[in-house]
Structure 1
Amino acid sequence: MLTIVQSGDFETEIQTPFCETKSSIQLKGFPTFYEDGEYVTPINLWMNHLINVKRAKNINSNVRAISRYWRFLRSHKLSWKDFPTIKSNKPTYIFRNQDLMAAVKTGELNSSTAAIYMNHVIKFYEWSYYEGLIEFSKDNKPFEVEFVSIKTTGMLAHINRNYVVRSSDLRIRVPKRTPEQSLNPLTEDEVKLYSQALSQQCIEFQIQQLLQLMCGLRIEEACTFPADLVKRCDPENYHVQVRIGPHNGVHTKFGSIRTIEIPTVLMNKMYRYLISERRQKRELKADHPVTELLVTNRGKPYTPNAIQRHFYLTRVYIRNELNAHFQHRTHDLRATYGTFRLASLLDEKIGLSPFDAMSLIMGWMGHKDEKTTWRYLNFINRSKASIRAVCFLDQIMDSVINEYEG
């Protein structure tokens, strides 16, 4: 069984060349892999490389990719460093074809996600070879290197029409989509369906998902939402605005600071959770004070990986218990907020111009480029299904917000 534990920061000694004295260096903790209680050295060295050498700010997709690959190897009794001569028998190709591509066909993964996972596995092998953890030969290698010609689309395309990049024959092709097609918000019926399933989940997962769906937060922003911002609000007010960013512990994209809107009913739900006996018991298990609002039963803050697992189980619940088809990612909740909220601002009763409505959405969602926000307007204009507005999300989520919380 593969287990992942987030290690704490640690200190290690280093020997300076041509110097007899030793010094120490402080390193950041990283997701640490154990298999049946044994330390998985190659993966953990790679995680340390990503965090403390490459200084990667977010390795969630790396963790998901390599853990999926490692579990696949163990379930098929394959070695990560043995590659038969026949390509179809190599573990990397079996993983690509039988796991990732199969998941794309069933709708479990998007082709873009599968491509990212495969690329992480390739990078892992390239790094392992460079560090001497694995040896490649003409017959024993995980993939074939290819050189792909890419058409230039920039200002100097008339001078240099193509450029060449190094790739591999493991790459997964991602169909080209328009910016509007890349948005996949929930429909009205899907929002109703998801609210029904969400009401059966734990209170922490409910709040995290509602922060994405009703406030447009990214998954990591919702996970790191601070307890200090939670307060009891007057029910007569429709929304309350708060500022989030690194200054209060929220992991916003690019470290930016922005103002978001939170429905009063959601803020009061978070307040009830903040003062609940359930959260207090969980907080007592923590090694140090927890600044985040959402706390696991181990006294730790919620991570995006934990939320992704909960989301997967919720999709399974929808399929098995509600007998419905539901193929969405957690990020689609943010897209749902963007489309419904923008439609509500464009409602004739409110009377905002498209420019003013776009400016508000851009600020609330933290878009750095206005082109990103324009995708939502184009999606609304091109969508055949009407998006009824103003209070739709709040009305549908009422059963989740006001349920009994034990």
Structure 2
Amino acid sequence: MFSGEIDEHGIRAIEYRDDHWVDNFPLIWSSGRQFDALEMNLYLEHRYKGLYRAPKRAARSNSLGGVSVKTLQSIANSLCIFLSWLAEENVDWRQVTAQASTQRAKYWLPVYRFRKSLIDLIQAKSLGRDSANLYMTHVRQFYEWAHRRGTIEKLPFEYQQLHIKRSNEHSNINSVFFISHRSPGLTVQTSDLTIPRKYRQKSLPSDQLSPYTHDELCSLFNTKYLKSSARRLWVDLALFTGMRAFEIAQFLDSHVIDPSVIDVASYHATITGKGNKERQILIPRTLMQRLWRYKNCAERMHRVMKWEVNNGTQHDKPLFLNRSGTGISEKSVSNTAIFARKELSRSGCVLERSFHDLRSTYATNLAKYMLDKGLEPGFIEFKLMALLGHSNFSTTRKYLNFARAVTFDSEMKGWSDTIFDGIDARLVDDYQHLLRGNDA
């Protein structure tokens, strides 16, 4: 309760503040570092409300203008790791000035010592370089927020402008992509708080591609667990479009249109992916037909009625709803492969693939399909990067390199020809458009 404005009779109006509940909002707690935990929680609140580093595009933000709860959970995880390290080392993160003025002295500051601890974990193969860089990015942003608030008098690190030039190791890659964009490189802002590339492991399990074989896909599809039309669609969306589990859980029913009205070989849909990054996916016509039938089936319409009772009819609703009329969770989607594996194991069949490996299957087979079509590697890399929503070429290139190195069996090649037939014309048109742009 709080005091409101004074009315015309001189009486102060009493207003009541409404609670604002946010499901799954992360909170940081520490028995020995309560003040630090409160400071970090305030930072999370400001990020969620858009008071600091609000997403530049509205489609990437929540209703208040800040980052999504999923992004917030990732930030909170990084800060929890940082807070645990601070408590273990018994240091104060507010120490931002080195006692000596030399360049080497700054590496004794807490934030640089934390960076060194992450590098030690990478070298011990207990942590991946990408994860360590994500932790450092979130910690660095927390320091920037604290500096803006006046909690610390200066930043313990400095930024610099770095010009990144594309390597010429593959001239055929430059011939399409960089000539068409008239850009030899780009300028980015960076600091020395990142994890150097020399610490990138070459053999981390998370870096290995594990696409399904034809026989493994047959085994997966033959399980009783995938007889459910919704679960089968989850798998097919990952397999035919490269969507992640959480992207499938958030997939809107407005993305599904009637194929009899718009008769094309493939359909575009704009989704929000990792890091609140928007991208377009291509949905083959045969898959869109099945999605349309599911969207209008009696069981789903019954669930839609429950959803609209709680949310109204104006809000975009997810395509996939559970029996209570709420959207399915990311875990429900990703667990599909786990339950299918358990079912297969009872019959003596071993399947060691995850749900995310369906995305690898899509990417590597699409790369192989485009190579067989004679499309230039530079275009393939560019197109894969766009369809998968990658932030850098190094992530995308591993799919192209894998497709070049691995010889797929004849069954897999036939399967690729079948599933990508619907988007073949769209890919070739995009390729020809780039070539025409180069000739102009």
> Does structure 1 residue 123 correspond to structure 2 residue 96?
no
Task: Give 2:375's match in structure 1, choosing from 352, 356, 368.
Answer: 352
* Residue in 2 that maps onto 1:200: 226
Q: Given the superposition, is the C-alpha separation of residues 369 and 221 from structure 1 closer, same or farther in structure 2, using an over 3 Å criterion?
A: same
Query: Distance between the aligned counterparts of 2:71 and 2:344, measured in 1?
Result: 25
Query: Distance between the aligned counterparts of 1:341 and 1:14, measured in 2?
Result: 60
**In the TM superposition, what are the counterparts of 1:286-297 in structure 2 within 5 Å?**
286=307, 287-288=310-311, 289=313, 291-297=317-323
Task: Give 2:209's match in structure 1, choosing from 167, 174, 183.
Answer: 183
- Structure 1 residue 376 displacement after superposition: 0.5
* Residue in 1 that maps onto 2:114: 165
Contact 1:341 1:389 in 2 (8 A): no
**In the TM superposition, what are the counterparts of 1:332-371 in structure 2 within 5 Å?**
332-347=357-372, 350-371=373-394
Q: Given the superposition, is the C-alpha separation of residues 312 and 58 from structure 1 closer, same or farther in structure 2, using an over 3 Å criterion?
A: farther
TM-superposition CA deviations, 1:355-393 (whole Å, max 9, x none):
222222222222232222111111223336558766515
Bigger drift between 180-189 and 254-263 goes to 180-189
Bigger drift between 331-340 and 194-203 goes to 194-203
> Does structure 1 residue 274 correspond to structure 2 residue 274?
no
- Structure 1 residue 30 displacement after superposition: 1.8
Question: Matched residue of 1:242: which SS?
Answer: strand
Q: Given the superposition, is the C-alpha separation of residues 189 and 390 from structure 1 closer, same or farther in structure 2, using an over 3 Å criterion?
A: closer
Structure 1 gap ranges (5+): 1-12, 16-20, 34-40, 64-115, 131-142, 148-158, 246-250, 398-406
Q: Given the superposition, is the C-alpha separation of residues 390 and 215 from structure 1 closer, same or farther in structure 2, using an over 3 Å criterion?
A: farther
* Residue in 1 that maps onto 2:192: none
TM-superposition CA deviations, 1:101-131 (whole Å, max 9, x none):
xxxxxxxxxxxxxxx9xx959938958x99x
Query: Distance between the aligned counterparts of 2:22 and 2:285, measured in 1?
Result: 37
* Residue in 1 that maps onto 2:23: 30
- Structure 1 residue 57 displacement after superposition: 3.2
Query: Distance between the aligned counterparts of 1:192 and 1:236, measured in 2?
Result: 31
Contact 2:246 2:333 in 1 (8 A): no
RMSD: 4.8
Which is higher, the Rg of structure 1 or of structure 2? 2
Query: Distance between the aligned counterparts of 1:57 and 1:219, measured in 2?
Result: 16
Contact 1:226 1:291 in 2 (8 A): yes
Query: Distance between the aligned counterparts of 1:49 and 1:297, measured in 2?
Result: 36
Q: Given the superposition, is the C-alpha separation of residues 234 and 394 from structure 1 closer, same or farther in structure 2, using an over 3 Å criterion?
A: farther
What is the TM-score when the length of structure 1 is the normalising length?
0.56
* Residue in 2 that maps onto 1:263: 284
Task: Give 2:256's match in structure 1, choosing from 230, 235, 239.
Answer: 230
Contact 2:248 2:333 in 1 (8 A): no
Contact 2:244 2:359 in 1 (8 A): yes
| Paired-residue identity, % | 21
Contact 1:28 1:52 in 2 (8 A): no
What is the TM-score when the length of structure 2 is the normalising length?
0.52
TM-superposition CA deviations, 1:212-245 (whole Å, max 9, x none):
1110112222222221221232699784121313
Structure 2 gap ranges (5+): 4-13, 31-36, 49-66, 92-102, 129-200, 421-440
Which structure dedicates a bigger proportion of its chain to helix? 2
- Structure 1 residue 146 displacement after superposition: 9.8
Contact 1:343 1:387 in 2 (8 A): no
Aligned length: 287
Question: Matched residue of 2:113: which SS?
Answer: strand
Q: Given the superposition, is the C-alpha separation of residues 277 and 302 from structure 1 closer, same or farther in structure 2, using an over 3 Å criterion?
A: same
